[in-house]
Each structure stands twice: as structure tokens, then as C-alpha cells.
Amino acid sequence: MKWIHRSKLLTSALLLACCFFSRAEPITVVYPEVKAPYDKIFQQITRGIAEEAKEDILELKLGDKFDPGDAVEKITTDKVIALGKRGLQVAKKIYKEKPVVVGALPIRPNGISGVSLTADPEELFDYLHELAPEVTKVTVLYTPASAWVIDDARQKAKARGLSLNSIKVENIREAVKAYDRLFAREDLNKTAIWLPLDPITANDKIIVPVILEKAWSNKIVVFSSKPNHAKRGALFSAIPNNELLGRQLVRLIEKISEKPLPPIVNPLKTVKLAVNLRTAAHLGYEYGSGKRSGFALTFPK
Amino acid sequence: MSQKSQAKGIANKSIKSLVISFLVISITLMTIAMGVVTAIGVNQQSRELMLNNAFQITEGLAKQAVFSILSGSNQNAHDAMKQVQGFHSVLASSLLLEDQSVFLTMGSYPDHFNVTLDAVDDTSVIIETNDYWLIRTPVEVIAELATEGESEFELESISLEEQVIGYAEVIYSKENLSHAQNRVAMLITIVGSISVVLLGLILHTGLQRLFKPLGQLAQTMQQAKKTGEHLMARVYGAKEIRNMASSYNSMMEVLDRQEDDLKEHRDQLEKEVEVRTRELVQARDSALTASRQYEP
């Protein structure tokens, strides 16, 4: 009996030693070297990655005139998280050979897994319900570039009792005409306009100023997936929570590392809220201190 | 002959009046030249500023007209056009489509205005007359340029197609420019004239005082010539005049001494002549007495 007990002890000790010495494969995080304040964003994402990951994190910064081929040769790990436009260039070189996820970009399904900067419609509709509860209809213009998130949005809108009026356009001219027709309608009561992360339908120079001006005149709610639109007059906009984005990226890379999966692109589930209180007051909304404490940013400052 | 008559003419005038005339004429010419150059420079700058202003108004209209032209509804452009028409110098403004057809017009175009169909790549003056400028600029859909940091969060594949979708034009009146130029010219003329007059007065007073010692010296010399007396001049004034006066006084002193010497010499001669005469008389008397003694 003694020898059975001893052998059990020995086996446990051996197992423990194995676990201790064979640590999980590190993750390489590849991201651009940029100046302040943009470097802070990558630092926050990397921090989130480090907090979520069980493995060690190896960082690889990509300079201004970097060579993707050289960068690939410096990657020694099997798991890679690529951030930003430069990170995507590296990811395109290796995604067929090893698990890689892309973040900090408004990506859409394109063969590489990742977490898009496009906010999850579910989050936006939740905030809409919280800040403008009487809105029942949401209108959004989109191009093929953002079609992937609109399909998802239709389901989620329905689940929340919202009616989603999605209008597909191909170019800026069609987008302008569609917006013009929208504002010419009289039945805009309880309607909100959603500005997606789309360079055509939410063009900052041509479309956004006019839409915000018309929305102000007609007292229509406008909310946006682009962070700086709240400052410009939208009722609220989504700001990425960078640390939680990092965590989301780690969970995704772990998922696709376990077993081969088709590429997954998830919208950003982790967003904070920027609210324009002047617009809110103009629309007749008042938010108590409890609600305001939940706002990451308010405008005017 | 003309040189001689010139010289004669100058000889009849006082140096003071000559200097004053010369200075006043020089300053007047210089003031006129400076006034003309200043007026040209100021007018040129005013013109540039005004044209720059007109360019900015036209470009502002073009930026605000993008949505309206894309939507095809000129209602959207009304506010922008009204704003432009609100500028005092804007006579008329128009938005044209890409094919140069008129999208929206406000204001009244000048009589005998000739429409031109110049397509432009940049804000340009299409027509310039004495009364107005016609300025035209393209209405463009331009892709936004992200900053270096921002571009890291954007996908290159998604971008806006840049294109010219129309033109904005403004008729900008030159009336204000003309008024401004006239005011500048008048101001320069008035200021210049007052300057010349004031300077003339100052010069006259100043030169009077400067030339007074010279005048007095000349008077003293004249007096000395008339009376024949060796009059001494007062030594004062500018350095050259004092030198002249001192030299004159020295000359008078020399003449005085010479006169005294002459007087002394003359007296000496008279004395010697008197002595000699006495001696000669004595000798004569002696001779006469001796001759009488020897007569039988």
C-alpha cells in the first residue's frame, strides 16, 4: 500500500512539473508605431490583451517604412494579433499559415478573422432605447462595405422592437439623394437616423454637416458609430473601449486556435458612450446624474 | 548766352531764397514721387485683398453646394446662396452643373454680360472689367485626407471617388475697390500737400535764422565799402560764416595797421623834410652872407 501511495505522489509531482515547465505559446501583438495621442489607443488595446491572455505577450512595433516580409520573419509565435492598417498588411501575409486576428480597423468579412471597429448594433440599439426611448424606427444608409453589419442589425432591431429601414446606395450621389428624400418625408416622427462607419453614407465633409443641420431643424435623433460625431451634434456616438477590445481579440484568437474555423469578423461589442447634452436638451431629453455618470464623454465640455 | 543770363539771374537773387526754392522744389517732387508709389502699392494691396475675399466667398459657396448639387434639389442651396448674396459687393451668384447648365442663380447679372463656358480646375477670374470680377470655382467631391495617426485606423479599400460635379460663380463688384482707391489717392494728396506747405514754412524759418549772420556780414562789408572805414564784423553763426567774419576782421586789422604805418612814415618824412629844409635855408643864408662879405 505504501508503494501505491508513493507512486501516486510521484505521478502528481511529475504532472505538476510538466504544467509548470510547459507554458502556453506566447502571442505576438503586431501594431504600428505612431505618435501621441494615437499611440495611447494601441497601448490600451495591448494592455487588455495582456490582462486577458494566459500566455506571454510579445510586441512587435511596425515603423513608418516597414517591410511586411521582414516583420513576418520576426514573428516566432503561432498566434498573432495584428492591429491597425500596418498590422493588417502583416496579417495578409500569414493568415493562411497560422491563427491571426485583426483589430483596430473597421474590417468586414474578407477572409481574415478579427474584431471590427464597427460597433455592434445591439449595443447601439440598447443605448438608443436608454437615451431616446420613444424612437421606434431607425433609418440607416449603407454601402456594400457595411452591408455585413446591417444584416446583423436587422435581426437585433427586431429583437428590440425597432423597425430598421435600411437603404442601400452605391455612391455618394445616391446617398445624398436618399437622405434628401428621407428629410422630405413628413412621417419622421419617432424616427432616428443611424450614421454607420461608412465613408460614403457618413461622409464627414459632405453628408454629416447637412444631416446634423437638418436633424436639428426637424428635431430628429441622429446617432453614430463614429466616435467624433457626438461632438459635432449627434445625440450619441459609440467610442471603442480599447482595453475590452484587446480582451475580445484574445478570446477570438483562442477560439480560432483551438480548432480550424472559417474566418470570423465580429462587430465591436465593447463600446463606451459619448453624448451631446446640448442636442439632448434641444430634443427634449434630460438625463439625471445617475445616467450621466455612465457616459464616457459628454459635449459640450 | 543762356548760361550767362542764368548766371546773371542767380547773381541777382539772395542765397537764402535760392536755397529755400531749391529745397522746397526738391521736397515737393519727392513727396509727389513717394505719394504716387505709395498709392500704387496700397491700391495693389487693396485689390489683392478684395480679390482674395471674393475667392474665399466663391470657394465657400462651392463647398456648401456639394450636397445640393448631388441631391439635384436646388432648395438645399438656397440658404448658402442667400448668405453669399448678403455680402455687399456680391452682385450675383450662380451654381452650374458639370455640363455648365444653370442649377441656381441669385442676384442680377450686369448688363451686356457675356456668358463664358470656361471649365476651371481652380478658383479663377474668368472675366474682369472696370466694374466687376466674374470668379468661378469647381464644386468638387473630395476624398478626406486622414492625418498620419488617423489613417492607421482606416481601410484603404474604402474611399470616395473624387470628381467635379459643377461650378460656383460669383460676380464681385469693384465699386468698393474704386472708392477705396479714390480715398487713398485723396488722402495721399492732402497729406502730401500739407507736408509740403509745413516743410516749406519750417525751412523758411530755419534758413532765415541760419542765413542771418551771413546777411549781416555782407551788410558790414557793404558799409565798410561805402564809408571807407575799417568796420569790424560780428563773429557769430555757422562755422563757415564765423570763419569768413574772422577773416574779414583780420583783414580790417591789417588794413588798420598798414594805415597807421603809413601815417607814421608820412610824419617821419615830413619831419625829415622840415629838418632838411631848415638846413638848406641855413646853408643858403650862410652862402648869402659869405657872398656879401666879398663884394667891393
- Note the helical H segments in B103-174: none
Average of per-residue pLDDT values in chain B: 88
Is residue B97 classed as helix, strand or coil in its secondary structure? strand
Nearest to B180 by CA among B54, B56, B39, B58: B39
Average pLDDT over residues B9-14: 74
Listed by start position, the domains of chain B span: 12-183, 230-296
Greater pLDDT, B296 or B177:
B177
In this predicted model, what pLDDT tens digit does every residue of B194-241 receive, in sequence order?
988 998 888 888 888 888 999 899 999 999 999 988 899 999 988 999
Tell which of B67, B68, B69, B160 to mutate to test the A interface (max A CBs under 10 Å): B67
Q: Does A32 touch chain B (CB under 8 A)?
A: yes
Identify the pLDDT of residue B156.
Answer: 65
Tell which of B78, B103, B144, B153 to mutate to test the A interface (max A CBs under 10 Å): B153
List C-alpha distances in Å: A240 to A123, A237, B50, B219.
11, 10, 47, 102
Is residue B101 classed as helix, strand or coil in its secondary structure? coil
- Among A117, A145, A177, the residue with its CB nearest the CB of B71 is A177
C-alpha cell at B139: 464644386
Q: Is the ipTM of this complex over 0.85?
A: no
User: Which chain B residues are within 8 Å of A171, Cβ to Cβ?
Assistant: 161
Q: Provide CATH code, domain A25-116+242-269.
A: 3.40.50.2300
B210 class by beta-carbon count within 10 Å (0-12 exposed, 13-18 middle, 19+ buried) = middle
C-alpha cell at B146: 486622414
Strand ranges of the sheet holding A271-276, from the earlier edge strand across to the other edge:
A163-168, A137-142, A191-195, A221-224, A236-240, A271-276, A297-299
Name B37's Cβ contacts closer than 8 Å, sequence gap at least 6: none
Give me the amino acid identity at A255: K
For residue B173, what pLDDT band results from cuts at 50, 70 and 90? very high
> Do residue A106 and residue B155 have CB atoms under 8 angstroms apart?
yes
pTM (2 d.p.): 0.74
d(CA A25, CA A21): 12
Tell which of B64, B76, B140, B155 to mutate to test the A interface (max A CBs under 10 Å): B155
Chain B CA closest to residue A103 = B153
Q: Does A178 touch chain B (CB under 8 A)?
A: no
d(CA A41, CA B288): 155
User: Which chain A residues are within 8 Å of B144, Cβ to Cβ?
Assistant: 199, 203-205
Distance of CA B33 to the CA centre of its chain: 5
Q: Provide CATH code, domain B12-183.
A: 3.30.450
DSSP, residue by residue, B131-146: SEEEEEEEEEE-PPPP
d(CA B233, CA B79): 89
For residue B51, what pLDDT band results from cuts at 50, 70 and 90? very high
> Do residue A85 and residue B70 have CB atoms under 8 angstroms apart?
no
Identify the pLDDT of residue A19.
Answer: 47
Tell which of B71, B144, B156, B159 to mutate to test the A interface (max A CBs under 10 Å): B71
Task: Count other Cβ atoms within 10 Å, centred on residue A117.
Answer: 23
DSSP A287: -
The beta strand positions in chain A, using DSSP E, are 27-32, 57-62, 79-83, 100-105, 113-119, 137-142, 163-168, 191-195, 221-224, 236-240, 265-268, 271-276, 297-299
For domain A119-240+272-299, is the CATH number 3.90.1010.10? no
Q: What is the pLDDT along chain A (301 residues), one digit of tens a residue?
A: 566 666 666 665 555 544 444 456 899 999 999 988 899 999 999 999 999 998 899 999 999 888 999 999 999 999 999 999 999 999 999 999 899 999 999 998 989 999 999 999 999 999 999 999 999 999 999 999 889 999 889 999 999 999 999 999 999 999 999 999 999 887 888 999 999 999 899 999 999 999 999 999 999 999 999 999 999 999 999 999 999 999 999 999 999 998 888 999 999 987 899 999 999 999 999 999 999 999 999 999 8
Angle between helices B175-227 and B239-293 (to 10 degrees): 10
Chain B CA closest to residue A240 = B153
Identify the pLDDT of residue A138.
Answer: 97
Min distance B100 CA to chain A CA atoms (Å): 18
Nearest to A116 by CA among A61, A51, A196, A53: A196
User: Which chain B residues are within 8 Å of A147, Cβ to Cβ?
Assistant: none
- Note the helical H segments in A202-287: 208-218, 229-232, 242-258, 277-283
C-alpha cell at B28: 515737393
Listed by start position, the domains of chain A span: 25-116+242-269, 119-240+272-299
Min distance B159 CA to chain A CA atoms (Å): 6
Is residue A276 classed as helix, strand or coil in its secondary structure? strand
Q: Does A40 touch chain B (CB under 8 A)?
A: no
> Do residue B160 and residue A200 have CB atoms under 8 angstroms apart?
yes
Identify the pLDDT of residue B167.
Answer: 94
> Do residue A180 and residue B73 have CB atoms under 8 angstroms apart?
yes
In this predicted model, what pLDDT tens digit does every residue of B141-163 receive, in sequence order?
987 767 777 788 887 655 667 88
List C-alpha distances in Å: B122 to B52, B66, B126.
13, 16, 11
Task: Count other Cβ atoms within 10 Å, centred on residue A51.
Answer: 13
User: Which chain B residues are within 8 Å of A211, Cβ to Cβ?
Assistant: none
DSSP, residue by residue, B15-39: HHHHHHHHHHHHHHHHHHHHHHHHH
Distance of CA A42 to the CA centre of its chain: 14
Q: Does A167 touch chain B (CB under 8 A)?
A: no
Q: Does A172 touch chain B (CB under 8 A)?
A: yes
Phi, psi of B215 (to 5 degrees): -65, -45
**Do residues A102 and A251 make contact, with C-beta atoms less than 8 angstroms apart?**
no
